[in-house]
Structure 1
Amino acid sequence: MDMRRISAALGAIVLVLAAAVAPAEAAHRRAGPLGPFTRLVVIYQENHSFDNMYAGWGRVGAQRVDGRGSPGYARRSTQVRQDGTPYRCLYQNDPSLATPPLAPTCGTDTASNGFSFASHFRNRPFSINDYVTPESPTCPGGTPGGCTRDLVHRFYQEQYQLDGGRMDRYSTGSDATGLTQGYYETRQLPIYQYLHAAGAPHYVIADRFFQAAFGGSFLNHQYLVAAQAPPWPGAPATAHSVIDAQGFPNPNPPAAGTGVRAYPLRTSDPALNDGPLTQACPGRPGYACGDYAVNTVQPASPPSAGGANTLPLVNNVDPAAPGYRRTIGDELSERNIGWAWYAGGWNDAAAGHPGPLFQYHHQPFNYFARYAPGYVDPRTGEHPRDHLRDETAFFAAAREGTLPAVSFVKPYGAENEHPGYASTDNGERHLVDLLDAVMTGPQADRTLIVVTYDEFGGQWDHVVPPGQGRHATPGPADEYGPGTRIPAVLISRSLRRSGVDHTSYDTTSILRTIEQQYGLAPLDTRFGRDARVNDLSPALRVGGIRHH
């Protein structure tokens, strides 16, 4: 028998089996920003600015994180009235900060609209932990966790708050007023303690990482998977936002019977409209306009809350039809690269009995036709919806060593850190569980984890985003963003050292990294954002990579 032929045949069989079992491993052999990493895990938390969470991180090696003590921190922290004059005090309407009333050490102050208030809080950042701790029973139902109230985080409101890079109208443009200036003690955060414990993996903190789009969770989840706002052709005219000369959209009338406005520090204008869509074109120059969904709307596919603000299915099936969009999932599937979106509570929600804190608008793929229930790919016979999985499947895959090449992880509402219905402490303890599942699994050495947040949650930050005036951070910008700086940290057991990366990024840098790694086309067909942002390779150079 010819042993060379037998050997060649066996080799061919091994190659076929390897390609079938681990196509991502083969795909990763091309040069790309991820280097030797064969798995990327993106954990997407909720609603905190960088300064709100990480301002007290301090030094990492020879570098210092840009937070408290940085030159711009105090200079840009002073909040101003609607007329541009600075407050002496910060008004507070969070129950934990306003009741029982604290001694009015600032005396009485007045907003531009004549609203007067006594305040304990001077016009500067303050520690939330001085008033609300993880033991405080301030979460829904009076449970512990240290929840604060929610803060407005919407498309045009954030642009008003940024004030062209002055970063000084967060409080005036907020329904939570002075809470915007609160911060958590960084070194008490579970993630900080986890990363600084004995035997912890190395990390790189990115202190110039911005949310891709202005506003809230819905739009920034869309940017995470598709790099642009979804269209809503034929939307009702009443769905369009109407903004004033300062770009503010809310009519802000006093609530019936109370005389209290939703935004206590701003005047009222009944001609405005705070809608789910951009302003109609032509609109006020310098602001996005058209039939694009930018504030929370519901998916047409179940699970969904339904209602009038339900976005028709986004077309990612027929390139010849109007409104065609692609997602990163489509691109990965086309190259036979494994991926999944893991969401806490998904199985229950998809079965028709969602948990009380399951957030429909946090499931971005569910807005696209390709991921609707029952859709079958005509070329492959596959069900693309199978890529949408429960978070329990992520824990199992991490434990068993079967994570796909790209994993997105979206925790359930009670564990995602969203102010109002979740707490930072509870959410970060769950985050540590996610990190530990990967770090103790068989794929740890080849896996890079990116932990970041969807958006700022209405909370102040001092670093000026790209496109916001003469002090702006360098980087691509357009009329959709980027917005406020958000926390971002890269973690792996294969990093040689911990460090700080000052490179300018936004959420679409994650897409850019995936696209560059696998040779995929950019997704943003309007402004080319994901073609112009930096990928994450500079952060890996900061951390170094231990080759195996």
Structure 2
Amino acid sequence: MNRKLIITAPLTVLIATGLCACGGNGEHEADLSAVKNIVVIYAENRSFDNLYGNYPGANGLQKVTAADARQFDRDGSVLPTLPPIRGGLTGIGVSPAVTEAMTVNLANSPFAIDDSAGFNLPLSVMTRDLYHRFYENQMQIHGGKNDMFAAWANSGAFVMGHYTTNADTLPLYKIAQQYTLADNFFMSAFGGSFLNHQWLVCACTPTYPYADTSVAAGLISAVEPDGVTLTLARSSPSSALEGAPKYANSGNLTPDFFAINTMQPPYQPSYNPPPVGGDPRLADPGMPTTLPPQTQTHIGDLLNDAKVSWAWYGGAWDVALTHRMVINSLTMVPNFQTHHQPFNYFADLAPGTANRAEHLLDGGLNGSEFIRAIDAGALPQVSFYKPQGNLDEHAGYTDVASGDAHIADVIEHLQKSPQWENMVVVVTYDENGGFWDHVAPPKGDRWGPGTRIPALVISPFAKKVFVDHTQYDTTSILRLITRRYSLQPLPGLVSRDAALTANGGEPMGDLTNALQL
């Protein structure tokens, strides 16, 4: 067993309702041998407050004062009102339409998107997208104050929007009521989906060697000496009320050539087409956003070495390989998102390898192939499932309701699976999608953790009717896997804990506090 993750603080309080009042790690030495299958379901782009801010017993919006939530302008002054929602709250052709003019002079506070006396947009309506990028996220967090989300957003007031959910409107809410909801779980890396998917599988940040002499030179961000703040363009509006910020270069790479915002896989399916006259299984390396193959150690490598079976089930993977027009398409279902497939960036999983054929599997349209494996009791010991784009809950190209209902249906199949009695399911979101959350992330390393996101632990072993306040981030999933199968921790797990401790905090938990074993 991996002793590094043994908890030093005891579980102190468990009240009669099942709500945990423990702080920090609160974990204990648990025997995980009864766990035979770990399933990870990875949705998209929602902060905790955005979906679960009113959840009973959780650290939600009921604990937020007006002073806690107010947003500041770029010069450090309090905004008199929130900026208008740039371009409107709903996109062209979306009904009901909420235009930018309808969003002026909103109070400087959180607001319910589905408020019947306000915008009255239910979870089934697709809204506009928001900035969710590496440097911008840090600037919005503002050292843990979370008071500059509106200042450094391209969407104005929309960052402060949330839903008033309950078990009748959000299927996963009802499931959370039966099992464990973690309310102190953070996205592992600042920014967006690309980087957080990498941290899900390797706890590492990809690199682009010699980017400054490559076709990607123009993607290198212009950053201030603090290493956190983007350099503003001279034409950038001084106030958030005057317009969205403009930057000298908010690129996809750091000045020292780490890939932090969306880069494309070097292998198909990739948004970048194959090289002209070259191998059709590859993405054109001559395009600036094609990331060179990565060679860091990922969780699949550790599982292979330990002879633990595993698979990544990409929703609509085979369809995307066969029909390029569905890739990153706002008009065609399944709207397959290539940067949501993290293992497709690694050299040891390149096309033609046995490793790829065994472990990168088609999840099927609407998850049909993944569900087929569930129903047959044929899941490997570790499974990752990524829903296709129109079912992943990402603002700007889908709604919340469709994806939430899909994941709830997958969970229902898991509960009926022959493997259920020995299974632990973790459902979480890759990142906040740009939405505000009131809880300050713990101070870690250069890469994160970032904003708080929802996470559910669903299992026969999960504590029932339980809100887990233990400190977690996305890497806690890797910690659970490495602990269960006695694997050495990935380097990023060690460095993350060292940074948390050096900054006066504590190591991340490994989700065992959500389990009764």
Q: Same fold (TM over 0.5)?
A: yes
Q: Distance in 1 between matches of 2:102 and 2:309?
A: 58
> For residues 412-444 of structure 1, what are the alpha-carbon distances to aligned partners after superposition, in whole Å with 9 as ceiling and x for unaligned?
000000000010011101111111110121111
Counterpart among 109, 124, 133 of residue 124 in structure 1: 109
Quote the residue 2:428 is aligned against: 452
Shift of 1:35: 4.8
Q: Residues 204 and 491 of structure 1 are in contact (CA less than 8 Å); yes or no, is this contact kept in structure 2?
A: yes
Quote the residue 1:190 is aligned against: 171
Q: Distance in 1 between matches of 2:31 and 2:202?
A: 20
Counterpart among 365, 369, 378 of residue 393 in structure 1: 369
- Specify the code of the residue in structure 2 equivalent to 1:296: T
Residue 332 (str. 1) matches residue 303 (str. 2): yes
Q: Residues 154 and 244 of structure 2 are in contact (CA less than 8 Å); yes or no, is this contact kept in structure 1?
A: no
Quote the residue 1:68 is aligned against: 61
Q: Residues 210 and 486 of structure 1 are in contact (CA less than 8 Å); yes or no, is this contact kept in structure 2?
A: yes
Shift of 1:134: 3.8
Tell me: CA distance 1:362–1:132, structure 2 relative to 1, closer, same or farther (3 Å): farther
SS at match of 1:433: helix
Q: Distance in 1 between matches of 2:139 and 2:46?
A: 18
Q: Distance in 1 between matches of 2:211 and 2:59?
A: 42
Quote the residue 1:303 is aligned against: 269
SS at match of 2:218: helix
Q: Distance in 1 between matches of 2:347 and 2:242?
A: 41
Quote the residue 1:160 is aligned against: 139
Residue 465 (str. 1) matches residue 445 (str. 2): no
Shift of 1:34: 3.6
Using the TM superposition, name which of 48-57 and 125-134 deviates more.
125-134
> For residues 349-384 of structure 1, what are the alpha-carbon distances to aligned partners after superposition, in whole Å with 9 as ceiling and x for unaligned?
233536231111000000001111112xxxxxx333
Residue 170 (str. 1) matches residue 149 (str. 2): yes
Q: Residues 340 and 408 of structure 1 are in contact (CA less than 8 Å); yes or no, is this contact kept in structure 2?
A: yes
Q: Residues 511 and 530 of structure 1 are in contact (CA less than 8 Å); yes or no, is this contact kept in structure 2?
A: no
Q: Residues 462 and 514 of structure 2 are in contact (CA less than 8 Å); yes or no, is this contact kept in structure 1?
A: no
Tell me: CA distance 1:526–1:441, structure 2 relative to 1, closer, same or farther (3 Å): closer
Q: Distance in 2 between matches of 1:262 and 1:166?
A: 18
Point out where structure 1 has 5 or more consecutive residues left out of the alignment.
1-30, 59-63, 105-117, 136-144, 197-201, 281-289, 316-324, 376-381, 468-476
Q: Residues 448 and 490 of structure 1 are in contact (CA less than 8 Å); yes or no, is this contact kept in structure 2?
A: yes
Shift of 1:67: 0.0
Counterpart among 470, 476, 480 of residue 509 in structure 1: 476
TM-score in terms of structure 1 length: 0.75
> For residues 214-258 of structure 1, what are the alpha-carbon distances to aligned partners after superposition, in whole Å with 9 as ceiling and x for unaligned?
000000000000001011111133321112478443656879xxx
Quote the residue 1:56 is aligned against: 54
Tell me: CA distance 1:244–1:494, structure 2 relative to 1, closer, same or farther (3 Å): closer
Q: Residues 82 and 266 of structure 1 are in contact (CA less than 8 Å); yes or no, is this contact kept in structure 2?
A: no
Q: Distance in 2 between matches of 1:447 and 1:293?
A: 34
Quote the residue 2:121 is aligned against: 133
Shift of 1:526: 9.0
- Specify the code of the residue in structure 1 equivalent to 2:268: P
Quote the residue 2:348 is aligned against: 370
Using the TM superposition, name which of 159-168 and 512-521 deviates more.
512-521
Counterpart among 455, 472, 491 of residue 524 in structure 1: 491
Q: Residues 311 and 359 of structure 2 are in contact (CA less than 8 Å); yes or no, is this contact kept in structure 1?
A: yes
Tell me: CA distance 1:194–1:212, structure 2 relative to 1, closer, same or farther (3 Å): closer
Tell me: CA distance 1:32–1:159, structure 2 relative to 1, closer, same or farther (3 Å): same
SS at match of 1:383: helix
Quote the residue 2:387 is aligned against: 411
Q: Distance in 2 between matches of 1:433 and 1:208?
A: 26
Q: Distance in 1 between matches of 2:292 and 2:399?
A: 33
Q: Residues 33 and 536 of structure 1 are in contact (CA less than 8 Å); yes or no, is this contact kept in structure 2?
A: no
Shift of 1:133: 3.0
Quote the residue 1:432 is aligned against: 408
SS at match of 1:205: strand
SS at match of 1:129: coil
Counterpart among 443, 465, 468 of residue 419 in structure 2: 443
Q: Distance in 2 between matches of 1:189 and 1:446?
A: 26
SS at match of 1:528: helix
Shift of 1:86: 1.1
Using the TM superposition, name which of 232-241 and 361-370 deviates more.
232-241
Q: Distance in 2 between matches of 1:398 and 1:96?
A: 38
Shift of 1:522: 1.8
Q: Residues 300 and 310 of structure 1 are in contact (CA less than 8 Å); yes or no, is this contact kept in structure 2?
A: yes
Counterpart among 78, 86, 91 of residue 93 in structure 1: 86
Tell me: CA distance 1:95–1:265, structure 2 relative to 1, closer, same or farther (3 Å): closer
Tell me: CA distance 1:228–1:132, structure 2 relative to 1, closer, same or farther (3 Å): farther
Q: Residues 449 and 490 of structure 1 are in contact (CA less than 8 Å); yes or no, is this contact kept in structure 2?
A: yes
How many residues matched? 439
Residue 77 (str. 1) matches residue 69 (str. 2): yes
Q: Residues 181 and 457 of structure 2 are in contact (CA less than 8 Å); yes or no, is this contact kept in structure 1?
A: yes
Q: Residues 452 and 486 of structure 1 are in contact (CA less than 8 Å); yes or no, is this contact kept in structure 2?
A: yes
- Specify the code of the residue in structure 2 equivalent to 1:302: Q
Q: Distance in 1 between matches of 2:32 and 2:261?
A: 33
Shift of 1:194: 4.5
Q: Distance in 1 between matches of 2:406 and 2:231?
A: 36
Q: Residues 296 and 361 of structure 1 are in contact (CA less than 8 Å); yes or no, is this contact kept in structure 2?
A: yes
Q: Residues 153 and 245 of structure 2 are in contact (CA less than 8 Å); yes or no, is this contact kept in structure 1?
A: no
Using the TM superposition, name which of 151-160 and 87-96 deviates more.
87-96
SS at match of 1:171: coil
Using the TM superposition, name which of 346-355 and 406-415 deviates more.
346-355
Q: Distance in 1 between matches of 2:423 and 2:190?
A: 30
> For residues 294-340 of structure 1, what are the alpha-carbon distances to aligned partners after superposition, in whole Å with 9 as ceiling and x for unaligned?
0100111111122321110012xxxxxxxxx1110111011111111
Counterpart among 454, 460, 466 of residue 487 in structure 1: 454
Tell me: CA distance 1:263–1:295, structure 2 relative to 1, closer, same or farther (3 Å): farther
Q: Distance in 1 between matches of 2:241 and 2:294?
A: 33
Q: Distance in 1 between matches of 2:357 and 2:80?
A: 53
Q: Distance in 2 between matches of 1:398 and 1:208?
A: 29
Shift of 1:533: 2.5
**RMSD across aligned C-alpha pairs, in angstroms?**
2.6
Q: Distance in 2 between matches of 1:170 and 1:101?
A: 18
Work out which of the two has the higher radius of gyration on C-alpha atoms and give 1 or 2: 1
Q: Distance in 2 between matches of 1:42 and 1:399?
A: 17
Tell me: CA distance 1:527–1:334, structure 2 relative to 1, closer, same or farther (3 Å): closer
Quote the residue 1:18 is aligned against: none
